[in-house]
Structure 1
Amino acid sequence: MLHSDQSADPPRQYRLVAAQIRALIDMDRIRPGARLPPEREMAQQFGVSRQVVREALVALEFEGEVEIRASSGAYVCGVDKGNAVQPRLGRSPAELIQARVVLERAIITLAASRVSQPGLLRVGAALQGMREDLDRGRPPLAADRQFHLSIAEMGGCDALIGVVATLFDRFHSAIPSRHVCDEGLTSWRAALIEHEAIFQALKARDPITADAALCSHLLAARNRSTGLS
């Protein structure tokens, strides 16, 4: 039985699990097309939490090693090892969200203390764009991105706007498109409510509530990105 090193830094444990699953695939102990064991079973096998297993599977799908099917599980892809994508485990959605939490918490605290009417109008316009996209039945990704960039702009963090944009783009590119399609617009509607809470806290010039609302949103986004059953 394989085990993950329990002493490993928790955000990195998924890498160890992903490497062990990949090794089993490479040794043909799990054949192409085969369904991987249930999440709970793998968590017990590797001695980690189910959340770590979820993150490992998301990373492996991003590499093209497995395919995650909603309400069905994860299946080994028929990958041509000679043309396999190079590992990108350093770009796990969980790690990217962790970076966003650190950066955007500092930004929103500044923004809440520097609220201006033009700044609120820009953030509000992005929020309205999210509503309109959802009303049309389409994911409001561009408006979501503009919402976060507008907050950085209002906080006077011009030098960090590019970093916010890069982390946002990498986070969403690290989520396999099937997850977005399978979830439909339900998750986006939940995200809209979270964005509205952030906006209301900014309007109230309340940095503590704004920080809490932002953290709640980013952690919810993290859970949605790795929320396999």
Structure 2
Amino acid sequence: MHPSPAEVARTLAAGRLRGSAHIACRPGPHQVRHATDAGGRVLLLVPVDSDIARALRPADDAEDVALVLDVLDVPPVAGAPSLGRVWVSGWAAPLAGTEARQAALDFVDIDPTGDLLDVGRGQVIFRMAAEEVRLERGGALIDIDPDEYAAAEPDPLHAIEWDLLTDLADHHVPEMADYIHRQLTEAGHTQPPGAQPRVVRLDRYGFVVALGTPGREYRARLAFPRPVADRADLARLLHPVLCRHCGVAAA
């Protein structure tokens, strides 16, 4: 099991990575603070008196502005593969009143910045529904159906991926190495000689491990028995792996 292209696109666009906005017929791009709501609509939080707010201002006879949000993945550790790059295109319009307040609540789930308290005064939220979604990954460009993008969910572990990988590397190398060896053996693969395998990416469906020696590493993906829902669910799933002898020691 692995994330679908729509799930990867939702994860990249969620708002935890730096994004830039390309606005039709305007200079740019502009660095933006962004998030997405439950339906994948892009939310932009911008100061009222700023270049990007002026660039996003619709023409006199229009209600919205054509915009492309561009987000590039930043791998969490050295040697980790990139999730790729996503472009989400649509029409952005400013929000006010109840819609702005709801958008601020959606935004705070991703980025609890204090500037959200100033929405309606010094800050404004623009919202854009996805009309076109493209994902570039491994040199291939994938067109994603906007409805599939909207229905997908961002990965629940992405925001804490670095923390999880660091914890595994600092405290659980022998246990993970043993587990990876067993998984590879059961799948009919032979673990190459060299350094201990490293977990370099982690998502709700499984993890990617780097095997071999520096300069001659290759990567393999190991799937969980089922997708995990959150950090607590992951802890329950990995407890038998990371604490195989806890019951014996306690007895």
TM-score category (smaller protein) = under 0.3
Bigger proportion of residues as strand: 2
TM-score computed with the length of structure 1 as normaliser: 0.28
Q: Which has the higher contact order (CA 8 A, sep 6+)?
A: 1
Bigger proportion of residues as helix: 1
